[in-house]
């Protein structure tokens, strides 16, 4: 059993979301770079490297988004459910004892 504070969990998960958004920007920039390089050169080594960067950033973004969804569901959703149940029973909401 561990004590979790809903506002702290929310803040941490919000920070994670900001990182996901920044990673989306990296993925977009890598795609744009490949597009620009495709117009500027026919060098297969450069184009392959840019395409590899695009593919890898897309893969990492997918993994990060999946981890974020799982983390959100395992923390905020479950903790929010506990807050709702606690509110109905009139107990203190400042610190909840939640088993993860």
Confidence label for 5 from pLDDT (cuts 50, 70 and 90) = confident
pTM as predicted:
0.72
Task: Find, among 81, 78, 80, 59, the residue nearest to 70 by Cα.
Answer: 78
Number of domains in the chain: 1
What pLDDT is attached to residue 16?
95
Domain of residue 41 covers 2-98
What pLDDT is attached to residue 38?
96
CB 37 within 8 A of CB 53: no
Counting beta carbons within 10 angstroms of the beta carbon of residue 19, is it exposed (0 to 12), middle (13 to 18) or buried (19 or more)? exposed
């Amino acid at each position: 059993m561990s004590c979790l504070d809903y506002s702290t969990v929310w803040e941490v998960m919000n920070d994670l979301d900001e990182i996901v958004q920044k990673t989306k920007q990296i993925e977009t920039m890598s795609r744009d770079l490949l597009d620009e390089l495709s117009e500027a050169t026919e060098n297969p080594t450069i184009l392959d490297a840019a395409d590899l960067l695009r593919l890898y950033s897309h893969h990492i973004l997918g993994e990060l988004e999946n981890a974020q969804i799982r983390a959100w569901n395992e923390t905020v959703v479950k903790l929010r459910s506990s807050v709702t149940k606690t509110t109905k029973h009139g107990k203190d909401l400042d610190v909840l004892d939640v088993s993860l």
